[in-house]
Amino acid sequence: MQLRDLLKELEASGDLVRIKKEVDVKFEMANVINSLGEKPVIFENVKGHTMPVFAGIASSRDIIARGLGTTKEDMLVKLVEALGTPKEPELLENPPCQEVVIHDPDLNTLPFLTHLDGDGGPYATATVSIIKDKETGRNACYHRLMRLDSKRATARLIPKRQTRTTYDRTKNDIEMAICIGNSTSVMIAASLGPPSGVDELAIANALSPTPLAKCITLDLEVPAHSEIVIEGRLTRDLDREGPFVDLTETRDFERQEPVFVVDCITTRNEAMYQALIPGRLEHKLLMGMPKEPTIYEEVSKVVTCTNVVVTMGGGSWLHSVVQIEKENPDDGIRAIQAAFKGHKSMKQVTIFDSDVDIYDPISMEWALATRFQATSDMLILPKQPGSSLDPSSDHSGKKTLTSKLGLDATKPTDVDPKKYEKVSYGNIDINDYLEK
Ligand SMILES: Cc1cc2nc3c(=O)[nH]c(=O)nc-3n(C[C@H](O)[C@H](O)[C@H](O)COP(=O)(O)O)c2cc1C
């Protein structure tokens, strides 16, 4: 489903808020989005800007599922299928994203948000960035942009992401197109980290039709229905980027990062800018959820895996829970080892049987209380490569190091399974017992 269709559908079902009051992109807008619990919203009157701003279309699993034309329960299978069978998108002539072409662009005309006091500057965060690598082809990845002036912004390129790899092995500038205001399929695909050489836009197209458009000034293709496309170059110049809040809701520090220079901006008619506040629901879901299929695939190689959730409490990045159909005594421990292969930044994983609801913290804690013994059901892996986002990791060396924890909360196979079953009371019609 395309973005504008989703917004229309959300409005028709009463799930979208319109704010007509004037709102400032400096501090105020991020606070309003947060206070709405990131419910989908359109700000019609943005102080100092002509463009409306929207946010919140990936703030819950249900809304993401609606954007992908599926349900929360079937989403994992849909993602696994799309990852396995990317579909080359078609090219559109006269695409919507080029209805307006600005050849002398000014980044100040776009409503970049300043989210919190202490941020390094105004940031664009819903920024799906497209590059091409000579060896591995097209790549889409999010790169937050901190505006420096009317033509320049620094882009955060995390090590080992394809854009950083390509940048580091290139001597010249790299063409980059930054797409803002995208469909759920494009947002999810850009959050995935498929093996190098797999085109995220072909995965987006496998999730739902995502035609592309050739850029005006670059040899790149972008989603044809993006609201805004910033065409430009990642230069060899470095400048300050950060501080900025990241996934763990702690502050990422200031670094020297590549400077992006804008050459041209294209937009749809009546284009809308997209905001995405860092560290909160939307950011967390978009980061964590795409790791669920990769964990699922690894665990499925060794045991029967029935579900995976990367949990919010772990910053939607560091912790996950995995549900399996246990058949052999060591299935739980094997699942732990496989899960860590499926998501390298993960620090803690817990394995549950299929009768435990892995969306319900109480159900999971019950299984840990009744099926888990620390002396026999726990795996600790010291000094493992860890996530730069975890303040408790050891950041003193070249590589971040952490210890990893796996908990096997599945019931043993060699005892009477009835001992571990949760009893349930019957459901009766209570009206039969109340005075009439
Ligand atoms: C909202 C959001 C913001 C992100 N910001 C950045 C960023 O600023 N820099 C970065 O390198 N990765 C960022 N990421 C992560 C990448 O999009 C993600 O890891 C991607 O899978 C990398 O895939 P690749 O290595 O194939 O490019 C962000 C992800 C999300 C969902």
Hey, what are 264's tokens?
């041209």
Phi/psi for 166 (5° steps) reads -65, -45
**Mean pLDDT of all residues in 83-88:** 96
Q: Which of 119, 133, 246, 353 is catalytic?
A: 246
Dist. CA 318–CA 248, nearest whole Å = 9
My answer on whether 239 and 378 are in the same domain is no
pLDDT (tens digit per residue) in 317-338: 999 999 999 999 999 999 999 9
CB of 339 shorter than 6 A to ligand 1 = no
Which residue range(s) make up the domain with 315?
Answer: 290-413
**Mean pLDDT of all residues in 80-86:** 94
My answer on whether 230 and 278 are in the same domain is yes
pLDDT (tens digit per residue) in 119-140: 999 999 999 999 999 999 999 9
Instruction: Determine the pLDDT at residue 192.
Output: 87
Instruction: Determine the pLDDT at residue 250.
Output: 87
357 is catalytic: no
Of 285, 301, 335, which one is at a domain's C-terminal end?
Answer: 285
My answer on whether 177 and 267 are in the same domain is yes
pLDDT (tens digit per residue) in 409-423: 999 998 888 899 999
Any idea which residue has 């390509």 for tokens?
A: 166
**To the nearest whole number, what is the mean pLDDT of the chain?**
96
Instruction: Determine the pLDDT at residue 406.
Output: 98
Q: Yes or no: say if 285 and 64 are a contact pair by the CB < 8 Å rule.
A: yes
**Mean pLDDT of all residues in 182-211:** 95
**Does the model's pTM come out above 0.85?**
yes
Distance 336 CA to ligand 1 centre (A): 25
Instruction: Determine the pLDDT at residue 145.
Output: 98
Instruction: Determine the pLDDT at residue 241.
Output: 98
User: Closest ligand 1 atom to the C-alpha of 282?
Assistant: 1
Substitution candidate for ligand 1 out of 131, 158, 244, 247 with most atoms within 8 A of CB: 158
H helix or E strand, kind and range, residue 140: strand 137-142
- Looking at the chain, the whole-number percentage of residues with pLDDT higher than 70 is 100
Asked if the model's pLDDT at residue 36 lies above 80, the reply is yes
Ligand 1 atom 21 nearest Cα: 193
Residue 322 in domain? yes
The structural domain count of the chain equals 2
Give alpha helix (H) positions in 301-433: 331-342, 361-371
Show the CA angle centred on residue 174, arms to residues 385 and 230, nearest 5°. Answer: 100
My answer on whether 249 and 381 are in the same domain is no
Of 242, 270, 285, which one is at a domain's C-terminal end?
Answer: 285
Q: Helix 200-207 vs helix 184-191: angle between axes, to the nearest 10 degrees?
A: 140
Q: Helix 291-300 vs helix 281-288: angle between axes, to the nearest 10 degrees?
A: 30
My answer on whether 298 and 408 are in the same domain is yes
Distance 389 CA to ligand 1 centre (A): 13
Helix, strand, coil percentages in the chain from 3-state DSSP, rounded to 5? 25, 30, 45
Instruction: Determine the pLDDT at residue 417.
Output: 81
Distance 252 CA to ligand 1 centre (A): 14
Where does the pLDDT of residue 389 fall: very low under 50, low under 70, confident under 90, or very high at 90 and above? Answer: confident
My answer on whether 183 and 279 are in the same domain is yes
- In single-letter form, the type of residue at position 402 comes to T
Asked if the model's pLDDT at residue 73 lies above 90, the reply is no
Residue 189 in domain? yes
My answer on whether 208 and 295 are in the same domain is no
Burial 307-330 (b: 16+ CB within 10 A, else e): bbbbbeebbbbbbbbbbbebeeee
Residues whose CB is less than 8 angstroms from the CB of residue 330 and which lie 6 or more positions away in sequence, other chains included: none
Any idea which residue has 């435990």 for tokens?
A: 356
Residue 422 in domain? no
